[in-house]
């Protein structure tokens, strides 16, 4: 992507940069390069366009992901947690995405490191629902990997607050810099699958061993690390600001989306 006539539209406008291919694909070198280019090139074009403006962009909301920390194990991840060193298709892609936006010509920039967003017809939730309805809704591997998640309505509320157009969401103004967009109540994979089975009224299901998951990921053309790695991400900055989540608990969020 290059700077074109569209650049004039940035004058006095807020920027919300969400550009990027879906991560649900095989973790090959070619796909990692595609994920990187689809994020970095549009971001650099936006940044170059902003540099041409007489006045800085009032606010820039830059998308990113909590996957930038990689497989965090039992670590409680917040805005101060540094990027990890793998898997490459997660950490390197996210790091280069954020670096491309750093220093943009904006009065204020917020980098939203977002967890898994639960939304009707989203690829992530669609696949989990499909597997559960097929009787494959058991825990993945040991089931202890953490899953950080966020209802789409709460993601929208965090984004509006970051833009400064929905101040009632929190008594404090939105911060500059990194902001984790995630529910205050992450769950382990076993709890996620059990809750999903309950909401869908499905019986208990056998666990899926890691080896079987890796084989299935080849057939489904997806990345097994999406299910085998995890992050226990909770936003310290949202808590300090008194941000009000509409769907803070997993069961309530899934019931709302799948009722």
d(CA 55, CA 197): 52
Q: Is the peptide bond before 87 cis (omega within 30 degrees of 0)?
A: yes
- Rounded to 5 degrees, φ, ψ at 141 are 55, -130
Residue 155: C-alpha distances to residues 93, 115, 119, 162, 232 (Å)? 21, 9, 10, 10, 17
CA nearest 234: which of 124, 69, 110?
A: 69
| Total domains, the chain | 1
pLDDT of residue 92: 97
d(CA 235, CA 78): 5
pLDDT in 10s for each residue of the chain, 259 residues: 788 889 999 999 999 999 999 999 999 999 999 999 999 999 999 999 999 999 999 999 999 999 999 999 999 999 999 999 989 999 999 999 999 999 999 999 999 999 999 999 898 899 999 999 999 999 999 999 999 999 999 999 999 999 988 666 778 888 899 999 999 999 999 999 999 999 999 999 999 999 999 999 999 899 999 999 999 999 999 999 999 999 999 999 999 999 8
pLDDT of residue 167: 64
pLDDT of residue 1: 72
Residue 22: C-alpha distances to residues 26, 83, 229, 251 (Å)? 11, 20, 18, 26
pLDDT of residue 171: 82
Residue 164: give its domain's CATH number. Answer: 3.40.50.720
Between the CA atoms of 64, 232, 191 and 132, what dihedral angle is there, to the nearest 10 degrees?
Answer: 20
Residue 207 structural domain: 5-258
- Rounded to 5 degrees, φ, ψ at 122 are -75, 150
d(CA 214, CA 224): 6
d(CA 63, CA 178): 10
pLDDT of residue 2: 81
Answer whether 36's CB lies under 8 Å from 91's CB: no
d(CA 53, CA 55): 5
CA nearest 163: which of 19, 30, 61, 76?
A: 61
Q: What is the pTM of this model?
A: 0.94
d(CA 205, CA 136): 6
Residue 223: C-alpha distances to residues 26, 188, 200, 259 (Å)? 5, 19, 25, 29
């Amino acid at each position: 992507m290059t700077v074109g006539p569209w650049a004039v539209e940035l004058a006095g406008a807020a920027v919300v940069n969400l550009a990027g291919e879906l991560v649900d694909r095989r973790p090959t070198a070619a796909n990692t390069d595609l994920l990187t280019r689809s994020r970095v090139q549009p971001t650099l074009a936006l940044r170059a366009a902003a540099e041409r403006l007489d006045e800085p962009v009032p606010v820039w909301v830059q998308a990113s992901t909590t996957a930038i920390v990689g497989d965090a194990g039992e670590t409680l991840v917040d805005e101060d947690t540094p990027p990890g060193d793998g898997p490459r298709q997660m950490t390197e892609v996210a790091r280069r995405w954020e670096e491309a936006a750093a220093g943009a010509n904006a009065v204020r920039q917020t980098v939203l490191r977002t967890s898994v967003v639960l939304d009707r017809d989203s690829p992530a939730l669609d696949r989990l629902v499909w597997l559960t309805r097929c009787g494959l809704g058991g825990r993945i591997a040991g089931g202890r990997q953490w899953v950080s998640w966020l209802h789409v309505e709460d993601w929208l509320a965090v984004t509006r607050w970051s833009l400064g157009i929905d101040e009632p969401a929190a008594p404090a103004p939105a911060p500059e810099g990194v902001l984790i967009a995630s529910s205050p109540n992450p769950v382990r994979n076993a709890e996620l699958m059990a809750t999903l089975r309950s909401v869908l009224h499905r019986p208990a299901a056998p666990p899926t061993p890691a080896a079987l998951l890796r084989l299935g990921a080849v057939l489904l053309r997806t990345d097994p690390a999406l299910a085998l790695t995890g992050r226990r991400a909770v936003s310290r900055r949202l808590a300090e600001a008194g941000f009000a989540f509409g769907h803070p608990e997993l069961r309530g969020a899934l019931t709302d989306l799948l009722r």
